[in-house]
């Protein structure tokens, strides 16, 4: 068992950050960090994960055994923090929040390999760094995926072939635009607002130019991948499981995104109606 606090802080910080950044819930991040701590022989450690950051206090190394079992954080030295060393606290900020299930899975796998004793701390650290620097793929291919799923969803919401093609174009363009803004430090509000504007204006242009198609179906279908449905589900789930702070934070996030999208679409539609257009 390694007794290296610096290495452990790096592993914990990176693992927690990877999980929170790529769509894992706070409960999973906390559980993973606690397991890593326990496997490293520091069972009294405490973790608090929020959607915007993770805080970990690593307890001193504890080698005591009660009977046959290793200490589970309840021995005198652990619970009072009077062990051999001093406790170390670590805070990591989480600045971007996307959904990347592959990275989430790999980070989870690396953490699990360490807790099962199949990998050492330095090995885990290099593995996590590899995952962190992994490329995120081609944005044009992403845009095509986004367009195709948007088109198919508009078909599902009652559209025909014309709506499918329009929603494909809208979803494609919206994904491209939002991937352009992804790396600049623009506020999330502005990014979603612009997404809404792009989708609505394209839908308005296409329907008026060809004189056919249902504009509502096109807009709803193309908004599918910008809408924070999963975030809303996570918000309620977090609140129900007692992670009150992260639940409320996610609620605020969802409200902001939904309102900015609707604001973008609403502005374009009201201008369109003001110019004499009819929303069918």
Partner 1 sequence: MYTGQLVFEFIVCTAATVFFSLLMRAPRKTIPLTALVGGASWVVFELLLANNQPEISAYFFGTMVVAVSAEVMARIFKMPAPIFIFPSLIPVVPGTRLYKTALALVEERYVEFRDEATRTLFAFCAIAVALALTNVAARSLSAYLSTRARRKLQKRQGKS
Which of 13, 53, 70, 263 binds partner 1 (CB under 8 A)? It is 263
**What is the full DSSP assignment across 195-250?**
HHHHHHHHHHHHHHHHT-S-HHHHHHHHHTTTS-HHHHHHHHHHHHTT-HHHHHHH
Q: Which of 191, 201, 222 is nearest to 272 (CA)?
A: 201
Stretch that binds partner 1, among 1-9, 56-64, 80-88, 150-158 (CB under 8 A): 150-158
Q: Does 152 bind partner 1 (CB under 8 A)?
A: yes
Which of 25, 34, 163, 243 binds partner 1 (CB under 8 A)? It is 25
User: Which helix H or strand E contains 11, and what residues bound it?
Assistant: helix 5-21
Provide the angle, in degrees to the nearest 10, between the axes of the packed helices 139-156 and 215-223. Answer: 130
Supply 265's token pair.
């679409």
Looking at the Cβ atoms of 39 and 104, the one nearer to partner 1 is 104
Q: Exposed, middle or buried: residue 178 (CB in 10 Å: 0-12, 13-18, 19+)?
A: buried
Which of 113, 205, 248, 259 binds partner 1 (CB under 8 A)? It is 259
Supply 89's token pair.
């606290």
Residues in the chain: 280
Q: Does 132 bind partner 1 (CB under 8 A)?
A: no
Task: Output the smallest distance, CB 185 to partner 1, in A.
Answer: 24
Task: Output the smallest distance, CB 230 to partner 1, in A.
Answer: 6
Q: Count residues near partner 1 (CB under 8 A).
A: 47
Task: Output the smallest distance, CB 225 to partner 1, in A.
Answer: 6
CB 226 within 8 A of CB 192: yes
Q: Does 162 bind partner 1 (CB under 8 A)?
A: no
Which of 104, 125, 198, 218 binds partner 1 (CB under 8 A)? It is 104
Looking at the Cβ atoms of 62 and 194, the one nearer to partner 1 is 194
Looking at the Cβ atoms of 129 and 139, the one nearer to partner 1 is 139
Task: Output the smallest distance, CB 182 to partner 1, in A.
Answer: 14
Task: Output the smallest distance, CB 102 to partner 1, in A.
Answer: 4
Q: Cα(199)–Cα(175) distance, rounded to whole angstroms?
A: 10
In 220-231, which positions are buried (b, 16+ CB within 10 angstroms) versus exposed (e)?
bbbbbbbbbeeb
CB 136 within 8 A of CB 190: no
Q: Cα(105)–Cα(22) distance, rounded to whole angstroms?
A: 10
- Chain residues in the site for partner 1 (CB under 8 A): 23-25, 28, 99-105, 108-109, 137, 142, 145-146, 148-149, 152-153, 155-157, 220, 223-225, 227-230, 232-233, 236-237, 240-241, 254, 258-259, 261-263, 265-266, 270
């Amino acid at each position: 068992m390694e007794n290296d606090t610096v290495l452990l802080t790096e592993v914990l910080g990176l693992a927690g950050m990877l999980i929170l950044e790529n769509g894992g819930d706070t409960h999973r991040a906390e559980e993973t960090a606690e397991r890593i701590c326990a496997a490293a022989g520091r069972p009294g450690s405490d973790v608090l994960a929020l959607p915007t950051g993770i805080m970990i206090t690593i307890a001193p190394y504890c080698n005591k055994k009660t009977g046959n079992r290793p200490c589970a954080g309840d021995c005198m030295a652990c619970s009072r923090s009077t062990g051999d060393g001093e406790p170390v606290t670590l805070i990591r900020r989480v600045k971007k929040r996307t959904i990347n299930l592959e990275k989430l899975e790999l980070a989870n796998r690396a953490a699990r390999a360490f807790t099962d004793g199949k990998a050492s701390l330095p090995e885990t650290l290099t593995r996590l760094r590899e995952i962190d620097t992994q490329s995120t793929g081609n944005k044009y291919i992403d845009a095509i995926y986004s367009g195709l799923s948007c088109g198919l969803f508009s078909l599902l919401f009652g559209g025909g072939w014309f709506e499918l093609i329009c929603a494909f174009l809208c979803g494609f363009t919206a994904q491209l635009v939002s991937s352009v803004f992804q790396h600049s430090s623009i506020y999330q509000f502005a990014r979603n607002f612009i997404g809404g504007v792009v989708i609505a204006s394209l839908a308005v242009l296409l329907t008026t130019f060809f004189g056919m198609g249902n504009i509502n179906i096109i807009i709803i279908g193309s908004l599918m991948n910008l809408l924070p449905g999963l975030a809303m589900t996570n918000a309620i789930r977090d609140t129900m499981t007692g992670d009150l702070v992260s639940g409320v934070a996610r609620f605020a996030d969802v409200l902001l995104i939904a309102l900015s999208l609707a604001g973008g679409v609403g502005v374009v539609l009201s201008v369109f109606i003001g110019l004499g257009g009819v929303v069918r």
